[in-house]
A and B are shown apart, each in its own frame.
Chain A
Amino acid sequence: MIEGSIRTGFLAALVLCAAGALGQSAVSNSYDANLANAVTANNCSSGEPVALSGTVHVSYSVSTDSSGANNFAIAAATNLSGIGQNTGAAYTAGDSDDYSSSTTDASADLTVELKSALTAQNGGPGLNLVQSLHIVVDTSGNISVQVVSNTTNCGS
């Protein structure tokens, strides 16, 4: 009877431990910021505001050097479509860039620019899209990104 109780208790403890392990959140080293009809601020007199939809995908890796500095290597990529708010023209944009931050902090907090060509699908004049991305890697290692602004300049 006592042995059976011990065995039952042990098994119960194993189940609880497993449940606890499954309950722990995995660290996320990538993040998708989704845009839905985010209208650009247009600085081009011959252009137009464009309502953007799509994804800004950000990922990172981290290493620690011999001095104890943490180097966060970050990559950002856009995959966007848009609708011109004056003409109804369809646009697409897609580009990527890399950034890195090295400090003794256990986290990273950067605001960076990502530029891409906003191409009109009807062959009309395109625009240059400048997105400001606020990227944070917290002390738990989770990355998040906020698209702070979407601005267009005249294309070239």
Chain B
Amino acid sequence: MLEAKRGVLGLMVMAAFAVCAPAALAQTTITQDTPISSTVPSQCNDHTIAFTGTLHSVFTFNTNPNGMTHTNFDFSVHATGVDTTTAINYVVNESIHNESNVHGIAQVQNFGTKMMLISQGSAPNEVDRSTLHVVINSDNTFVVQRNSETISCK
């Protein structure tokens, strides 16, 4: 049953975790590791690449006396992929840094990202683009997802 679920194509599978963001006071840092398990068609060669790995998120909140919250969003992606047709492996190691300034803490941010898939074989490297979707709610819960992933030629 589990093997069948893993074999589903064209789905972006990212677990959404509800965790508690801190109350907007002083500086607080929270971290979260979100597993990556997805299968994505490549526009480069019509093959499919199956990924496993981790999206590591570190959010740092600083609230000043006028109620503005400065948020640092630091992401790192460590994943491996395998071309399900050629069995060639790919490696992804990327870091992403973004920031926001908002009143209060509630916000929805979408950050376009670009990562390199480094081929471990004879195939050329490819480019992975996705959107990091971050929702921070007023009740201090938050969610991180990777959406709209596409793979194209370098």
Contacts and interface: CB of A to CB of B under 8 A. Distances in A.
Interface of A: 69, 71, 95, 97-105, 109-113, 115, 117, 128, 132, 156
Given A100-B110, A104-B103, A113-B113, 19 more contacts: A95-B114, A98-B112, A99-B111, A100-B108, A100-B109, A101-B100, A101-B102, A101-B110, A102-B108, A102-B109, A104-B104, A109-B100, A110-B98, A110-B109, A111-B100, A113-B97, A115-B113, A128-B116, A156-B125
A103 B103 contact: yes
Contacts of A95: 114
Interface of B: 96-104, 106-114, 116, 118, 125, 129, 131, 154
Given A103-B102, A104-B103, A104-B106, A112 B111 contact: yes
In terms of DSSP, what is the predominant structure of the interface of chain B? strand
Contact of B98 (A71, A98, A113): A113
7 closest Cβ contacts across the A-B interface?
A97-B112, A111-B99, A109-B101, A102-B108, A100-B110, A115-B114, A98-B112
